[in-house]
């Protein structure tokens, strides 16, 4: 681990109140992101990865709340800052691209007005200077004819173009960390590849770190150096992309890899993980993955495995870590 990670999440706990009951959505999550690094936070829908991402920017609203842990950014605990201090960090030092740009962009303002507003709030630019910078940002995210596009409304743009506008807004203040929450969801494969390549190019240009939230291991292979795998609110495995794809140590990680279609694979050979992610209000005892795990035994059903170092660059929470060796993607 770097001596001073850019971002360090320590033992994060997030709860939601549902029908009077406190439900833990994120349970003791810890990971770090180094300067200039891309880390992917991976897992099925409902595992807590988006809640974790929103917690970093303190965007969890009632009935949800962060109940424990620390979120250190450049050594400062974001959970201890005032709301005024957090506003100076959001969109400035840390920016976020959300999953669905159509619900994130305001339908009654042009895209130029919305980018200019971000520039006004965070960089003090106004009027023609702000619009000129907005045009330059649209050009950087490879939107053709940006001088015309700044006068258009979100509904006049395609899904891929709206996502590019969101990326332009996120980059308006040259953030040191970009959080991308499922940035290619609902886009066709060609546009997905373009968006991922764009993020990679902009990261190299600005030197920013990226925390990529995704359920798609194809995205992970394209952009990340390290992977943090979440299941039912907990981290179950962490390691470099190369070692996890080659030799997954947790059965859940192996299952995710085996369910990814690959070139040359015959019809009918995908191996989906049976069952679904459990309801946070009704979690199984022991290892939370045991009802879906082909390796589970009585110990797995009774005792929750701790997240422990498996190698210098690897952490795994499994009583039988390594029995999945050889289940990776060549």
Give me the phi and psi of 233, to 5 degrees please: 85, 0
Element (H or E) spanning 27, and its range?
Answer: strand 21-33
Sheet of 64-73: strand order equals 21-33, 7-18, 64-73, 76-77
- Whether the pLDDT of residue 275 is over 60: the answer is yes
The whole-number average pLDDT for the span 281-295 is 95
pTM for the structure as a whole? 0.91
Give the pLDDT of residue 258: 86
Per-residue pLDDT band for 326 (boundaries 50, 70, 90) equals very low
Per-residue pLDDT band for 1 (boundaries 50, 70, 90) equals very low
- Whether the pLDDT of residue 176 is over 60: the answer is yes
- Whether the pLDDT of residue 30 is over 80: the answer is yes
User: For 268, left (φ over 0), alpha (ψ -120 to 50), or beta?
Assistant: left
Per-residue pLDDT band for 262 (boundaries 50, 70, 90) equals low
- Whether the pLDDT of residue 250 is over 50: the answer is yes
Give tens-digit pLDDT for 78-123: 999 999 999 999 989 999 998 777 778 999 999 999 999 989 988 8
Window from 25-39, 102-116, 217-231, 253-267 with minimum mean pLDDT? 253-267
Give me the phi and psi of 41, to 5 degrees please: -105, 115
Contact partners, residue 18, CB within 8 Å, separation at least 6:
63, 281
Tell me how crowded residue 188 is: count the other CB atoms within 10 A of its CB.
12
Contact partners, residue 147, CB within 8 Å, separation at least 6:
135
Partnered with residue 153 across adjacent β-strands are: none
The whole-number average pLDDT for the span 208-225 is 91
Task: Count Cβ neighbours within 10 Å for each residue of 111-141 and write b for 16 or more, e otherwise.
Answer: bbbbbbbbbebbeebeeeebbebbbebbebb
- Whether the pLDDT of residue 144 is over 90: the answer is yes
- Whether the pLDDT of residue 300 is over 90: the answer is yes
Per-residue pLDDT band for 2 (boundaries 50, 70, 90) equals very low
Helix axes 189-206, 159-170, angle to 10 degrees: 10
Per-residue pLDDT band for 330 (boundaries 50, 70, 90) equals very low
């Amino acid at each position: 681990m770097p001596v001073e990670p850019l971002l360090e999440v320590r033992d994060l706990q997030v709860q939601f109140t549902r029908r009077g009951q406190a439900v833990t959505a994120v349970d003791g999550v810890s990971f770090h992101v180094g300067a200039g690094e891309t880390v992917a936070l991976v897992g099925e829908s409902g595992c807590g990865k988006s809640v974790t991402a929103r917690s970093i920017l303190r965007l969890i609203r009632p009935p949800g709340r962060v109940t424990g842990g620390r979120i250190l950014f450049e050594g400062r605990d974001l959970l201890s800052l005032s709301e005024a201090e957090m506003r100076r960090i959001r969109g400035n030092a840390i920016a976020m691209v959300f999953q669905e740009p159509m619900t994130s962009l305001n339908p009654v303002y042009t895209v130029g007005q919305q980018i200019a507003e971000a520039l006004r709030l965070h960089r003090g630019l106004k009027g023609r200077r702000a619009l000129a910078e907005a045009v330059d940002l649209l050009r950087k995210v490879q939107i053709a004819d940006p001088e015309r596009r700044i006068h258009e409304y979100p509904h006049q743009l395609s899904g891929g173009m709206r996502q590019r506008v969101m990326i332009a807004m996120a980059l308006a203040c040259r953030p040191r960390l970009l959080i991308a929450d499922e940035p290619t969801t609902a886009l066709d494969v060609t546009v997905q590849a373009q968006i991922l390549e764009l993020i990679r190019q902009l990261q190299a240009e600005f030197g920013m770190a990226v925390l990529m939230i995704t359920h798609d291991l194809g995205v992970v292979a394209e952009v990340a150096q390290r992977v943090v795998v979440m299941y039912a609110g907990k981290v179950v495995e962490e390691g470099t992309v190369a070692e996890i794809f080659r030799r997954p140590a947790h059965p859940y990680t192996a299952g995710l890899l085996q369910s990814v279609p690959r070139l040359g694979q015959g019809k009918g050979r995908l191996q989906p993980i049976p069952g679904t992610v459990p309801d946070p209000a009704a979690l199984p005892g022991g290892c939370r993955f045991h009802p879906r795990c082909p390796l589970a035994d009585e110990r797995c059903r009774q005792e929750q495995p701790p997240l422990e170092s498996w190698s210098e660059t690897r952490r795994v929470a499994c009583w039988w870590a390594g029995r999945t060796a050889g289940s990776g993607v060549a």
